[in-house]
Amino acid sequence: MSGADKPTLPELEGLPGEDAPTPELKGIEAIRDAWKRMPAKPGVYRMLGADGEVLYVGKAKSLKNRVSMYAQGRGHTNAIYRMIHQTASMEIIVTATETEALLLETNMIKRLKPRYNVLMRDDKSFPYIAIRTDHEFAALQKHRGAKSFKGKFYGPFASAGAVNRTLNTLQKAFLLRSCSDSTFSGRMRPCMLFQIKRCAGPCVGLVNEQEYAALVKDSVDFLEGRSVQLQDRLAEEMRDAAEKLEFEHAARLRNRIRALASVRAAQGINPSTFDEADVFALHNEGGQSCIQVFFFRASQNWGNRAYFPRHNVEEAPAEILSAFLAQFYDDREPPKLVLTSIEPTDRELLEEALCLRADCKIEIRKPERGEKREIVEAALLNAREALGRRMAETGSVAKLLDGVQEVFGLAQRPERIEVYDNSHIQGANALGAMIVAGPEGFTKNQYRKFNMKTEEFGGDDFAMMKAMIRRRFARMLAEREEEPSPLAGEGWEGGRSDALESASNSTTERPPPPAPAPQGGGGAVENGGVDFSKERDVEAPDTKFAAWPDLVLIDGGEGQLNAALDALQELGLKNNIRIAGIAKGVDRDAGRERFFIPGRAPFRLDEKSPVLYYLQRLRDEAHRFAIGAHRGKRSASIAKNPLDEIGGIGPARKRALLDRFGSARGVSRAGLAELEGVEGVNKELAKRIYDFFHDNKR
């Protein structure tokens, strides 16, 4: 590289050479020091804080040229100035091309979640409709995740609800089975779906393979956009059947036509100028943004979803959209056409990156006229309205959280509220639940379930709550390891107690360092001698349990609360976690809840208080989550067969054993000779089955 090609930085003159020892630097000096060793090659750079936190991830065609812009120290936004000031070191990864750098940058942003990057916060997978073709009678079903079986996949759909509604209608129209292969092979008579005319009954031979294949072909035609031709053909067949006086057959065809028409009617906008595309419309207002995404497949609208990416106030809309698109398609297959309301920065680079991922030509276009422009404007209108609703809801929730702060004596508005409940039936299928709420509503990707063993609590509700709280906060301390408490006080000493060591998965035995001195945040709050005025840890580590709650709510009265306090006492956190209990009154009527706080007499809120309604919603959500998870666990245990636990018994041998002995209990009572007489069971397997059941009885 010639000297003329290198960026000139007069401010760098007089810096020590590369071989000289580099003192501890921070801010622009640290960036300038790293700049000296930067290659003029494509790659990805990371800006790290003093504690190793990744502040920002960026890509560059020339790392040296790009980093020189930070090193000059002028012409930046306020957010960039803050980022530069907090930078203590930089790390780089060199790539072969700028396109590879973009793909790597996107992956690292989604994994590391740097605070100064535009971040797409909802990365849940989209549901698809799948037609499984790995069986002679194909199955119609909803699918998420990796495409791990042979079949045809149609989507994405914007939500599971949209898929369920479409599947419901497709079952009426095409009568394809939706059962599992094991259920299909075990049927002796038609199931309920056949009775309500949503399945053709292939499991018991009510339709032959050729007739069923014709139904599958019709469903494929519809899902691939040939619905008009399909409806015309079915209408002609219906008229022919009516002329032949085959009225039952004509009625079935009529019902199928109606079902198909209802699906098309529910799709809303159905474009005529393109078959498939994703539409992205961004509206920015008040430092916040909403991106509406519409999905069009097979010339049909398959729903939309609103996203609210995290970004700095000064970020330009084109840069926000560019970063969002890269993250959106990081683990999704893009369509051949992407329509946007504004042209993203690095559009050509994005197209090249998406082409590499999809192995076909991808076009990103901002339409200027015609139907495409009208569809983008419709998406933009939805984005504007969604952001307006979001801002109104955020303001309303902020007022409620201010009320929660006042009720529970917090020094500042709570950002993270955790609510705990548990569910079991006489100790069986015990399960604890934690839900999380904050300024943006329920944070469902932070919900956690705790599978509790009977020996942990012996069927005692109080002991179960204690075990759950101990497990949750022991994991928090283990995952934070050397992170000091954001509310550090007297209770932090001894935080890594024996209970922590037994409950956590950490192999580190060093206790956390002493907590730093309090940093402002207002005066102490009188609450049983506990000071909750210390500064909140906003940037908690991004792990399952590392986040520090501002308020913990226990669904229960004084007994449940004391059990939770005992667990916190064992971990040395009793004086560091703001905790309260919420219990219904004697008559268990909503609106008469009593609240319990350590060091304060129980109290009630006004029955018409909006804060009370909000706390009821939190409590009810925890109860709903706990009950739902418990029912799922109970259903799984009911469906579980002891034969599934014995190695060497697959579906065929399991079926043979159940056919011979009638049930798993019958198998458990059988002798060795009887077991050996079952088809597919040799002496070794018979002995294994016999020992399994007799060992279980001891």
Report the pLDDT averaged over residues 191-206.
89
Statement: residue 590 has pLDDT above 90: no
Statement: residue 266 has pLDDT above 70: no
pLDDT of the residue at 289:
93
Whether the CB-CB separation of 305 and 286 falls below 8 Å is answered with no
Statement: residue 261 has pLDDT above 80: no
Q: How confident is the model at residue 406 (pLDDT cuts 50, 70, 90)?
A: very high
pLDDT of the residue at 525:
33
pLDDT of the residue at 273:
84
Statement: residue 494 has pLDDT above 60: no
**Three-state SS at 126:** coil
Q: Which residues on neighbouring strands pair with residue 603, listed in sequence order?
A: 595
Report the pLDDT averaged over residues 652-666.
80
Statement: residue 2 has pLDDT above 70: no
**Three-state SS at 594:** strand
Which structure tokens are listed for 587? 């008559």
CA atoms within 13 A on the CB side of 678: 25
Residue with tokens 């292939």: 202
pLDDT of the residue at 640:
62
State what percent of residues in the chain have pLDDT above 70: 80
User: What is the residue-averaged pLDDT of the chain?
Assistant: 79
The helix-helix angle for 209-223 and 227-243 (nearest 10°) equals 140
Domains identified in the chain and CATH numbers: 3-112 (3.40.1440.10), 277-390 (3.30.420), 409-415+422-621 (3.30.420.340), 642-697 (1.10.150.20)
For residue 8, give the nearest of 81, 53, 64 by alpha carbon. Answer: 64
Range of 100-109, 490-499, 656-665 with top mean pLDDT: 100-109
Statement: residue 526 has pLDDT above 70: no
The single-letter DSSP state of residue 536 is P
Which residues have a Cβ under 8 Å from the Cβ of 28 and sit 6 or more positions away?
70, 71, 73, 84, 85
Q: How confident is the model at residue 61 (pLDDT cuts 50, 70, 90)?
A: very high
Rounded distance between C-alpha atoms, residue 611 and residue 406, angstroms = 10
pLDDT of the residue at 402:
92
